[in-house]
């Protein structure tokens, strides 16, 4: 793929797998402030060996996209990505038509026609927004991560992931290492471990303004409590202006 070119993939797991093979970076949603974490991304990310280079919190405004000439009352089916569907439950309940989950909002737009509408940001040629701002929350926003093969060591946020040793208080011990240094932990997420034995994997974000040496010391303390540990990146996170309102 030529430098600067963009390419879409069918699933988020395929997008992660393409970094280093077909492309240099991937942009993926990692969390919505209404529906929570995008689990497929976290499950694939841990094993990928990739790092977070930067994050962006982007306001998300959904519209119901239909073919031109199709009125809202003529919509018989709505399709979109499961996250977009979940963020528009109230609107869909009132609309009262069958809802179909597809791989992406792009796939949903491709299915628009006759009585089928899609939830997406903007219409393609031959389509129009039959209803706008249909998301449940006016504050709806999604955090996107820029993933790369190269380890990042600059920024005010650090992300790690780990599996704990099977011992009493292991999670408390790991988090106490962070707390003892007066570090603000901004986020913790648990995901079922795919070994199927009732274990969980933890993803943790925390604020950090220290040196690389201080960060290594912190990791050493946490790793004493872990059976597996992975550094996911040190990076900056910013918030976009509400471009949808412009």
Q: What is the pLDDT of residue 242?
A: 45
Rounded CA gap, 118 and 167, in Å? 48
Q: What is the pLDDT of residue 245?
A: 42
* Geometric angle at alpha carbon 124, from 84 and 77, rounded to 5°: 50
pLDDT tens for residues 25-83? Answer: 999 999 999 889 998 899 889 889 999 999 999 999 999 999 999 999 999 999 999 98
What is the value of pTM for the model shown? 0.83
What are phi and psi for residue 219, nearest 5 degrees?
-60, -40
Domains, the chain, ordered by start: 12-58+142-239 (3.30.70.260), 63-138 (3.40.190.10)
The alpha carbon dihedral of 102, 105, 111, 115 has a sign of positive
Q: Would you call 23 exposed, middle or buried from its count of C-beta atoms within 10 A (0-12, 13-18, 19+)? A: middle
Q: How far is CA 102 from CA 34, 174, 177, 194, 195, in A?
A: 20, 39, 42, 24, 28
pLDDT at 1 over 70: no
């Amino acid at each position: 793929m030529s430098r600067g070119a963009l390419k879409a993939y069918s699933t988020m797991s395929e997008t992660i797998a393409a970094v280093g093979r077909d492309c240099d970076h991937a942009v993926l949603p990692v969390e919505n402030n209404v529906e929570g974490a995008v689990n497929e991304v976290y499950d694939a990310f841990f094993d990928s060996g990739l790092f977070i280079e930067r994050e962006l919190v982007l306001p998300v405004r959904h519209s119901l996209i239909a073919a031109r000439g199709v009125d809202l009352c003529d919509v018989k089916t709505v399709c979109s990505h499961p996250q977009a569907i979940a963020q528009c439950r109230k609107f869909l309940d009132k609309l009262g038509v069958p809802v179909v989950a597809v791989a992406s909002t792009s796939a949903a737009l491709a299915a628009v026609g006759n009585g089928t509408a899609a939830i997406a940001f903007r219409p393609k040629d031959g389509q129009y927004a039959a209803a706008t701002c249909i998301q449940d929350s006016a504050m709806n926003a999604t955090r996107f991560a820029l993933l790369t093969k190269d380890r990042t060591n600059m920024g005010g946020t650090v992300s790690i992931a780990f599996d704990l040793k099977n011992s009493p208080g292991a999670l408390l011990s790991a988090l106490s290492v962070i707390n003892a240094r007066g570090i603000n932990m901004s986020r913790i997420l648990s995901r079922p471990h795919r070994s199927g034995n009732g274990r969980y994997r933890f993803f943790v974000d925390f604020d950090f303004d220290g040196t690389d040496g201080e960060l290594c010391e912190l990791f050493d303390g946490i790793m004493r409590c872990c059976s597996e540990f992975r550094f996911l990146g040190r990076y900056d996170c910013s918030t976009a202006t509400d471009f949808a309102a412009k």
